[in-house]
Structure formats: structure tokens, C-alpha cells
Amino acid sequence: MSDSKSAPLGRMRNIGIIAHIDAGKTTTTERILYYSGKEHRMGEVHEGTTVMDYLPDEQQRGITITAAATTFYWLDHQINLIDTPGHVDFTAEVERSLRVLDGAVVIFCGVGGVEAQSETVWRQADRYGVPRVAFINKLDRSGSGVDHVMEEMRERLGAFPVQLQLPIGKEDDFRGVIDLVTMKMLLFDEESLGAKIITGEIPGDMRAAAEEARQRLLEAVADATDALTEKFLAEEDFSVDEIRAGLRILTLNRRIVPVLCGSSLRNKGVQPLLDAVVYYLPSPKDMPPIRGYDPKDYRREILCHPSRKEPLAALAFKVLEDQHGSLVFCRIYAGEMRENEKIIVANSGRKERVSHLWRMHAKDRERLEAAGPGEIVAVSGFRFAGTGDTLCDERRLLLLEPPHFPATVISMAVETRNNDDRDRLLDVLQKICREDPTFRYAVNEETGQLLISGMGELHLDIIKTRIIRDYRVPINTGRPRVTYRESVQEAGQGRARFEQTIAGQEHFAEVSVEVTPDSSALTPSIEIAADALAIPGAYREAVEEGLRAGCLSGPLGGYPLINLRIRVIGGAAREKSSSGMAFTAAAEEALRRAVENGGALLLEPIMLLEIAAPDEFLGGIIHDLNGRHAEIQEIDSRGHLRVVRARAPLAEMFGYATTVRSLSAGRVTYTMEPCAFAPVARQQWSDILGYQLPAREALGER
């Protein structure tokens, strides 16, 4: 066992590699581990790159475990690489990684350029404010190039890419790069699998192009500081260190994206990419202090600094279950985590003990006594902590913002043969839930029916297979069903009074609530207005509890409420006869009335589809999409394929995998993910809700 031999903060990088599926993430990562000496063999990609290929049996789960995070060293820096495997919950995987890493390498394919999913991951990185460097890969392929990718980065991503290298040779003849910072030629020795880099002078026929490209680079660098601007205007040359320092400032401020290029498969260009990670991506010290808030008072902000002296603040971002128990991956932001010590899971208030602390390496793990700020570690011994939970200690309770996970859109009923199996199943579901934040399960209290829900048919199908095959619990499932949501059309108010005598004790409460539509509040926000202080402080929690319960079950069909803000605007209590129970009940009822008064709305999940089809299948695919009321947004070409982007209601998309397979003999591939909730046309409501709607007036609509 070793004590945490972590690098000083300034020499640490927490990075992720993000890309469209097939851009070369896995191939590049393999080279990185090889060149950094982490792996002594260079593997080739044999594992699947499609959604279907991800079936985690024991052996594959071993791979997944090492894939969640790994640490290697480069130029005397400790680099923690967080992997973002591209499978069914692609979006969720990227979200959770982006939440805990400080910088990212974005890989583009030199042929495909900025593809739809590159755009998705780029926007996600924007959302988390993550500085990036870009790598244009596959320059050995025919039709590849750097210029069109740069252009698409500007046009489609609104980025400001700055080229640091020029490729030498095209396609089959691609041999290496010219480094515009040092003005050297870099060739990659084939015999050593690219490990040996041969540095030379720029070939004569490329001199002029290199000078010109360098000029553009210097122009960009000149923007970094006043001193550099002055120097540039005086037409003085920049030193290599000055260029790197300038690029670093601009990258950290997210004003530019340095662009490198190569071919991972042909072992070219990977080491300069690693240099760029060290030179241009942030260390934990470069990041602004992370914000948390007081769980008892959401308005009180708490800033955490990356210091060992501060109390612990860490975020659990991934959980893996195996036969030995669970492994919880955490990013530590402040303070220390130590073996055998207790921590508090701020979200539930539960205490947990760190039995072992690990630093994950490609194939091994190293036991640590302690780990500090900036570290990514895996903890064994936790029983409750799940993805998105904040870990802290008694001296400072705080909640860090969890990653955003999309809401589940599909559910199905699950049955077991007997109660024994059912108990085992509940255990298994709890495990899967901790691993996968886009999976939920619930037991209907009235009917006892067990419902599981997730991101799509395929997602639930994979989980079903895992339950039956890996956990060996036989189950039957019902038909998949859409999970609808409810919201409110316009602002509305509702007041409810609870007044009952229960077992000789009077219970009284009155609550007034206002709801306002807000499409940014996927989870309804709850606020108690200052002038609602007629509700005694002691009952505030009871009121919130009632509102949260009300949010789980809207007035139309009992679907969760989303896209609204809730404000408690008034209330009344009686000294002798008020109780928490009365306030909870009154709040829930007041919310229901407010939503009805504002006009309850039924929402359905809309899916974003990207379909890649050879030309001859395009007609059939489009015809089928039209029949599903899909809205076709774009038809593009990518190589010899036609790429269709469309949006369609999930309710219309059941069985799509089967249809596509039979339409194209398996030659058409697609991805589908939820992208929004949209109002359901009113004439469909009664079909979905299973009852006739009362007249509009009775629903309180104006």
C-alpha cells in the first residue's frame, strides 16, 4: 500500500476523451496507455462500437471497471483519464464525466468531421464550461483532411479552432506533422509502433505553407495578453514558451481550441496530443473554486478550495457493482479521504465508512491510505452512496451540483414467479439503480405492481437481460409504455385547507400556492415566499414534503410534474391544532388546485433520431418515418451514407429496431435518445389517460 503519491496540484490533469462513436476514442486511448508506459502491449479495437455490442458479462465488466478511470504520467504530470464509454446511456456517461473532469480532448474523424453526436458532446462540454483541445484523427483515410473539419468547428460549433500542426502527406501517404509551435517536422517511426519520434527540419516544399500557418497561430496567441499583443504589433517573434503560455491562457478561458492532428490507428500524432494536454488543459488549481450549497438552506452558497486543510468535499460520479461489492468513483474537490474513516453522504445524511481507497490504473488498482483534492479515486465499502451524491464530513455539510441526467421516458411492468424472487429482484434493481442514474424502479403502493423505467426500449432490454442472465432472477415483463409528464399552461394559484379530527386530535392547516410554467425547471423548484411567513417555520419542511409528493403525481393522470416553479404564497396555522401532517396534506392539495387553475398539460417524450443509411434504403426509411409522424430535420451525406436527423414522439417509435432491421437487412444503423418533452395534442388525451376529460371549464382553463 502506498500513501497518496499524488503530484502537486499544478502538475495534475483530470481529463476525458469525448467524441462521436467511432471517431477513434478507444484506439487513441490504447496508444496513450502504451506510449505512457501504462501498458506494454498495444491492443487493437475488437470490442464493439455499436450500442448493441455492449453486453456486460463478468469478463466485459472487468474491462468496464478499468475503463472508468485510469492514471498515467506524462512530462512529469499525473494525468487522470476518465473514460466515457459510448453505449446506450451515452449521454449520461458523458454528462457524469464532464461534471468531474477539468478538461477534455475532443476527437473528430478527419473524414466525417463534426457529426451530430460531436455536436451533442460539444454542447455538453459547453454547459459544464470545460476547456478543450481537439484532435483530428484518421488522416490516413481517403477523403480525410483538416481544413473542412476546422471549418465545421467554426460553423457548426461556433468554436475558434487554432491549428497547431500541419499534416505531412495525405491519406495513404500521411506520415507525420509539422509542429507550428517549434517549427519542426515530427515523423513517427513505424518499427517502434510510433513510440520513437524522429524530429527534423521542415521539408522545403512545405516551408511556405508552414510560415503562413504559423503566422495565423501567432495572431491568435497575440490576443492572450497585452504584452503579447504589443510584441506582435512590433513584429517581434515569440519564443516557444511564450506561445505555449499564450495558448494556455486562451484555452483555459475557452476563447480558443488548439487543434492537433494524426492517425491513432497508424500510430501517428498521439504523443504531441499528450503534450498539448499538459501544456494547455487546466490543472485543478486553475479551476474556479467549486460551489456547493448548504443542505439546510439552499440559498447559502459554500465555496470549496482545492486544499487538504479544508473539510472533505467529493462527488460520487459512478458506481460499479461486482461480486465483491460496489466500487464508487469519486472526484475529490477539497479536503482528504482516508482509509477507515467515516464520511457523510450529504444527500441522505447517512454515514459511510471508507474501507479501501484505490487509484485505478489501466489493469490494476493501487491501494491508497489517503487522497486529496484533485484526485479521482475509487472507494470500496460504501453501501448507500450513489451517482451524483456529495460526500463530506461533519465539519461542513454541503451539496455539490450533481451531473444532469435526462429524465426516464419509458417504463414496463416486471413480474416474478414468487416472493423469494421478488425480494432478490428488488436487491438487484437497487444495485442497477446505483450504477445507472438513468434507470429507475418503483412499486405502486396500491396495486403492488413493480415498474422499471429508463431511456428507451433498448436500454430496458439490456437491463432485462442483465437481470435474467447475470443476476439469475427469472422475470416476465409487460409491454413497454411511455412515461408521460404533466405541467401547467400558465400561472395559476390554489388554496387548500385541511381541517379534521383524527383520534380526538384536531389537525388544521391552510396553504396557498402559485405555479408558473418554466421550461428550464425540469425538476420543479420550490420556494416559500417571505410574505408566506404566516406558516410557522416548524412546518416549512412539512409543506415542502407535501409539494414534493404532489410533484410526483400530477392531477391529470398521476404523471410527474415538470417544467414549473412552485411558490408558497400564503398559509395559516392554529396554535393548538396545527400539525405537520395537516400542512403536508394541505400543501399537496393546494398544488393540485394551482396546476388545475393554471391549466394542466399533458407532455410526451420526443426522441432525437440519427439514422445512417446507404442510398437505396433512404426512401423506405423516410416513408416509415412519415408514418410515425416524425419531423425530418436534415438529410446529410457522410461518405457513401445518407444521414437523416429527425424528431419523433416516443409513442410512435416502439419496435423501431425491428422495423429498421427488416427494412434494410441490417444495413441501416441509428441512434435514438430522448431530447425533450412536448405537449400532447388534446384529442389524444383521453386515449392516454383512459378517461373522458371533463369540459374545459371544469379543468379551470380560461
Question: Closest separation between CB of residue 86 and Mg ion, Å?
Answer: 6
Nearer to Mg ion, 90 or 484 (CB): 90
Nearer to ligand GDP, 272 or 700 (CB): 272
By C-beta, is 28 or 416 nearer to ligand GDP?
28
Q: Are strands 492-502 and 505-517 parallel, antiparallel or unpaired?
A: antiparallel
Minimum distance, C-beta of residue 68 to ligand GDP, in the bound complex (Å)? 15
Cα(407)–Cα(413) distance, rounded to whole angstroms?
18
Q: How far apart are CA 14 and CA 7, in angstroms?
A: 12
Residue 264's binding partner among Mg ion, ligand GDP, none (Cβ under 5 to 8 angstroms by kind) is: ligand GDP
| Sign of the torsion formed by the C-alpha atoms of 199, 201, 203 and 206 | positive
Residue 673 C-beta: closest distance to ligand GDP, Å: 16
CB nearer ligand GDP, residue 152 or residue 242: 152
| Sole window of 20-28, 87-95, 128-136, 308-316 interacting with Mg ion (rule: CB under 5 A) | 20-28
Q: Mind giving me the DSSP string for 477-538? A: E---EE--EEEESS-EEEEEEEEEEETTEEEEEEEEEEEEE-TT-SSPEEEE-GGGTTS-GG
For residues 73 and 160, give the distance between their C-alpha atoms in angstroms, rounded to a whole number.
29
Binding site for ligand GDP (CB under 6 A): 19, 21-27, 45, 49, 86, 137-138, 140-141, 263-266
CB of 659 to ligand GDP, least distance (A): 25
Residue 483 partner contact from ligand GDP, Mg ion, none using kind-dependent CB cut-offs of 5 to 8 Å: none
Measured CA to CA, the distance from residue 600 to residue 593 in angstroms comes to 10
- How far apart are alpha carbons 6 and 447 in whole angstroms? 54
Q: How far is CA 97 from CA 62, 68, 428, in A?
A: 19, 9, 25
Site size toward Mg ion (CB under 5 A) is 2
Part of the chain binding Mg ion (CB under 5 A), chosen from 26-34, 223-231, 500-508, 546-554: 26-34
Residue closer to ligand GDP (CB basis): 666 or 694:
666
Taking the complex as a whole, the smallest distance from the CB of residue 17 to Mg ion amounts, in Å, to 9
With CB atoms as reference, the residue minimizing the distance to Mg ion is 26
User: Which secondary-structure segment (H or E) carries 82?
Assistant: strand 77-82
| Interaction partner, residue 56 (Mg ion, ligand GDP, none; CB < 5-8 Å by kind) | none
Quick check: helix, strand or coil at residue 40? coil
* Cα–Cα distance, 57 to 570 (Å, whole number): 55
The DSSP line for 190-253 is TTTTT-SEEEEPPPGGGHHHHHHHHHHHHHHHTTS-HHHHHHHHTTPPPPHHHHHHHHHHHHHT
Among 14, 26, 118, 264, binds Mg ion (CB under 5 A): 26
The listed partner (Mg ion, ligand GDP, none) that binds 671, CB under 5 to 8 Å by sort, is none
Residue 138 partner contact from Mg ion, ligand GDP, none using kind-dependent CB cut-offs of 5 to 8 Å: ligand GDP
φ, ψ dihedrals at 150, nearest 5° = -60, -45
Q: Which residue, 49 or 307, is less far from ligand GDP as judged by CB? A: 49
Give the helix ranges, DSSP H, for 312-471: 419-435, 457-465
Element (H, E) at 186: strand 184-188
Query: Residue 574 and residue 582: Cα distance in Å, rounded?
Result: 11
Give me the residue label for grid cell 457493482.
Answer: 321
Nearest to ligand GDP of 24, 372 (CB atom): 24
Q: Indicate which of Mg ion, ligand GDP, none lies near residue 21 (CB less than 5 to 8 Å, by partner kind).
A: ligand GDP
Phi-psi region of 402 (alpha: psi -120 to 50; beta: other; left: phi over 0): beta
* Dihedral sign computed on CA atoms, order 255, 259, 265, 268: negative
User: Among residues 25 and 592, whose Cβ is nearest to Mg ion?
Assistant: 25
Among the listed ranges 18-26, 130-138, 157-165, 692-700, the one in contact with Mg ion (CB under 5 A) is: 18-26
Q: How far is the CB of 533 from ligand GDP (least distance, A)?
A: 56
- Looking at the Cβ atoms of 23 and 488, the one nearer to ligand GDP is 23
Quick one: 23 or 281, whose CB is closer to ligand GDP? 23
Which one of Mg ion, ligand GDP, none interacts with residue 610, CB within 5 to 8 A by kind? none
Binding segment (CB under 5 A) for Mg ion, from list 25-33, 35-43, 289-297, 561-569: 25-33
Which residues in this chain contact Mg ion in the complex, by CB under 5 A? 25-26
